[in-house]
Structure 1
């Protein structure tokens, strides 16, 4: 049985959706204008019917999610499909045009049966759902978690635009069908555009009155469309406002935070320069992090997932540090778990020459300047992926240079105390670190002796 979440199945569903949309647009136009198809288009439609037929076969061989349980039993899958979508799928895939003589002899209809292909458009609801939802791994009770892979607000907007456009197209074709004399002296394109214009103005309750019903059928049809238009208009007004207000919830929360910060600045009567630095910090935090509180998300993750995510995000950072290159994998996993995020604005001093060291730093984004405090000499510039302050983990010497943020910097820190706790669990590596520390002290001693 095919898994409903298989990438190939989802691509196939998307392809079927495109084919359904083609028929939903083309069939009504052909029924009202009675034009003949070219040989190429005829073969295209025959290919689409074959696709629909293959889709019927695939549906008989695709596992289904029922009450969040994945069912592979072929008998249950078959029975469920026969009771739900099979009839619609069969009627839309059946080649009625190949049996035109039979249906004309017994039913008196041929082309009108093509309207049955529109039944397939009902399947769009199911396809939208399958493309929107993703079934994740099962819980302990074998029930799958359904997760929306498309933002609900975005999905509602796409779904609404799709169906409103398709419905307006059908109403326009219905208008031409009821009034064959409508702009009969014009070409097909002009007649369709003008009828679509009438459809849109009527559904949106604007109704300029430049195109009006003439016959009783057209009048009754227009009244029905007006009633539907009022419902659609109310739905639009009620939902568009909600969509716009919720389209970017994080931005709304960020704006609320800025308002709170402004109130804090006014209450504390902070000087303009300091106030601008605070605002600049939060604006940069939004532009680079989109208002995401990384620490809050981090604290809510279970330890197993936290370690795996940490290794994925930070393993490349710690692997460039010389004394971590040969470290055991267990130690690396403990180290990445202890990394803490920190942010610095351009011009911020991360630490000064002569400071007591407490952390080493991993630079994830931005660049920093290494400066000699006495002479203000720029010794080096470190870019994303670099590290600094690593010797604070293995000895107690003071900082030998000043580190200044040259841009907005996204960094991760590893505390000296936490690293010492990790080393207790890895005595062999602790001995390796001790050797490095002793060698560094010898080098510093020899440099001091030469200077004297």
Structure 2
């Protein structure tokens, strides 16, 4: 509040009164610098709306321009001091303001205070000098002549070298960050190819490995969701998982009637898997340890290489765990026809959640409609 109050005071109106002392007027004018403290608030807002690297770059450019403005004001004050001192002492007029007056044909007249270059000419020239010095360009058409001007120019060069290096260092970091995803992809792909070459993986399996990696990368951008979630508390993990699996939990009939706590517990135990075309999700004879919910794509069920069913979005396959005390074996192969995304939950995890919420368990089993039961009933009877 104090910063906003000091920033909004009408200093120009106060200075307009003729009876205001010059020292007090200068003090009021200097309070305008308080407005610069609001740059911190602008920086925080930029950080929210712009990518971090871009926000840093924008702030650095603004700081660079602000530093150039301040240095230009100091450069003008030094030139004005040198010119005033030379007039009083009757010395040679070799300051940069005198050179500017000679170049543009607006000479100073000691009897006329308004003579010489205009304030616009002085400011633009001073700003031009500071920018050319800070960026190490230095055309030389505006140059220091007196000792104070030369000392100040050395300081400007030192400041400019540091700021120049800082800005270009951040630009390099931003460009590197833009291509960091591509670099990570090629690094991971190189590891996969080295693994294939070292272990002499055959051609068909090699192609499946590369296709799965490419599909998984395009879907997740190389981000391991489980690794990311480990860095958060369990309550926040549950909320994130509930958001990631919201479509399944809201649209599937089996989960209707579940309270928020039950849905959070289920969401924590669901895992998302991806499969490229031709990938076999379940082989005949495998132990059925999970229940699968198809989120996207199509799969085919095969028995003895004969397609017996084709499943698509919102279909469910596995086995009804409530009917059997122990997991059974699969009676068919399950193979992806297209790129597929599936939600799966392990049998033990599902039974654990239903044991924690027994009231919901009966509702779940009555509403669960498994599209294709993979359990090999003949093997169960044989035992």
Bin of the TM-score, shorter chain as denominator length: 0.5 to 0.7
1:338 offset after TM fit, Å?
1.5
Query: Is structure 2 residue 162 aligned with structure 1 residue 231?
Result: yes
Q: Which runs of 5+ in 1 are unaligned?
A: 1-54, 57-85, 134-147, 442-452
Query: Is structure 2 residue 253 aligned with structure 1 residue 322?
Result: yes
Give 1:310's match in structure 2, choosing from 234, 241, 247.
Answer: 241
> Highest Rg: 1 or 2?
2
**Alpha carbons 2:254, 2:369 under 8 Å: kept:** no
**2:380 alignment partner in structure 1:** none
**Alpha carbons 2:144, 2:153 under 8 Å: kept:** no
Indicate the SS of the match to 1:232: helix
**2:85 alignment partner in structure 1:** none
Query: Is structure 2 residue 260 aligned with structure 1 residue 360?
Result: no
**Alpha carbons 1:169, 1:196 under 8 Å: kept:** yes
1:223–1:315: structure 2 CA closer, same or farther, 3 Å change rule? closer
The correspondence of residues 255-294 of structure 1 with structure 2, limited to 5 A, is: 255-271=186-202, 274-275=205-206, 277-294=208-225
Query: Is structure 2 residue 64 aligned with structure 1 residue 157?
Result: no
Indicate the SS of the match to 2:138: coil
Query: Is structure 2 residue 279 aligned with structure 1 residue 348?
Result: yes
Q: TM-score, normalised by structure 2?
A: 0.65
1:347 offset after TM fit, Å?
3.5
Is the deviation greater in 371-380 or in 114-123? 371-380
**1:424 alignment partner in structure 2:** 355
Indicate the SS of the match to 1:224: helix
Quote the Cα distance in structure 1 between the aligned partners of 2:125 and 2:38: 30
1:167 offset after TM fit, Å?
2.5
**2:9 alignment partner in structure 1:** 94
**1:203 alignment partner in structure 2:** 134
Give 1:404's match in structure 2, choosing from 336, 348, 368.
Answer: 336
Aligned length: 335
**1:414 alignment partner in structure 2:** 345
Of structures 1 and 2, the one with the larger relative CO (CA 8 A, separation 6+) is 2
Give 2:66's match in structure 1, choosing from 166, 191, 195.
Answer: 166
**Alpha carbons 2:275, 2:336 under 8 Å: kept:** no
**Alpha carbons 1:357, 1:399 under 8 Å: kept:** no
**1:124 alignment partner in structure 2:** 39
Indicate the SS of the match to 2:345: strand
Give 1:213's match in structure 2, choosing from 138, 143, 149.
Answer: 143
CA-based RMSD: 4.7
**Alpha carbons 2:72, 2:123 under 8 Å: kept:** yes
**1:339 alignment partner in structure 2:** 270
**1:297 alignment partner in structure 2:** 228
Quote the Cα distance in structure 2 between the aligned partners of 1:343 and 1:208: 61
1:267 offset after TM fit, Å?
1.8
**1:40 alignment partner in structure 2:** none
Quote the Cα distance in structure 1 between the aligned partners of 2:358 and 2:277: 40
**Alpha carbons 1:97, 1:111 under 8 Å: kept:** no
**Alpha carbons 1:338, 1:414 under 8 Å: kept:** yes
Q: TM-score, normalised by structure 1?
A: 0.57
CA deviation string 1:372-394 (max 9, x = no partner): 66665884642xxx342165445
**Alpha carbons 2:294, 2:312 under 8 Å: kept:** no
**Alpha carbons 2:255, 2:364 under 8 Å: kept:** no
Quote the Cα distance in structure 1 between the aligned partners of 2:160 and 2:370: 82
